[in-house]
Amino acid sequence: MDRHAQRSTENAAAFDWAHDDVFGRIASRYDLLCDLFSLGIHRLWKRRVARRIAEERWTRLLDGATGTGDIILRLVAHESTADRQIVASDVSAGMLGIAQRRLGSNADRVRLECLDAERMPSVADGSVDAYSISLALKICNRTQVLNEAFRVLAPGGRLIVLEASNIPWKPLQATYLAYMSACMPLLGWIATGGDASAYRYLLHGIREFPTAEGLAEELSAHGFVDVAFERQSLGIVAIHTARKPRTA
């Protein structure tokens, strides 16, 4: 199997940014897509996960796949983060450009870096004490992302993940997926000016992503401890938390 084919089978969305920089192309419309697909509910999820990140004890946070900065904007609004170091990263320079503009007067509180969450050789082992990633694992090789998160976290460091999940009541989950299958192509086509790849990746990622229980098992398998999750909006998404062991 060649590298491209192998990468395509290692993430839920079968997405490879190096071959299709769709999120760079739709960066200016990405927030509109989120509003349309979630009916605005994503704002509640992001507010909740930002509060959860702020409540954790850390001095240096690395936020992977920052996108247009939704989580970081909410995070810097918390007084408790005023004296902490925040590094916000994304593989898309277009996304980071929008995040930079949105930060405005808070730009000096966040260092933006163009990093691929799957491979971050410039980030030293054990150099951050918190790592967060939101709504991006579904379009990444999550094995590599979680390996990198574990590597860069200091012993005892915290992991916070907001990601697609499953509604435990199967009939409702089926209804939700049917809604997304029916609405996402039309709304995505309108919002992106006909760029079909954007909603194809996102929809595939939602369908194929593990359940909340399944992702929790993966985190444990990567060596994380104190693994827990909290479903949001009945289980459309979940906030996962875990910790890197303090000792090997």
Q: Per-residue pLDDT tens for 182-207?
A: 887 777 777 667 666 666 777 778 88
Question: b or e along 105-134 (b: 16 or more beta carbons within 10 Å of the residue's beta carbon)?
Answer: eeeebbebeebbbbebeebeeeebbbbbbb
Could you tell me where the DSSP H helices lie in the chain?
3-8, 22-25, 30-38, 42-55, 70-76, 93-103, 142-152, 170-191, 196-208, 212-221
Instruction: Tell me what the mean pLDDT of segment 61-72 comes to.
Output: 95
| Lowest mean pLDDT segment, chosen from 10-24, 45-59, 233-247 | 10-24
- Residue range 3-243, CATH number: 3.40.50.150
Model pLDDT for residues 123-142, shown as the tens digit of each residue: 999 999 999 999 999 988 99
Torsion sign over Cα 90, 13, 157, 242: positive
Model pLDDT for residues 1-26, shown as the tens digit of each residue: 333 333 333 666 566 666 666 777 77
What's the whole-model pTM score? 0.89
Percentage of the chain exceeding pLDDT 70: 86
Residue ranges of the domains in the chain?
Answer: 3-243
Q: Decide if 137 contacts 76 (C-beta within 8 A).
A: no
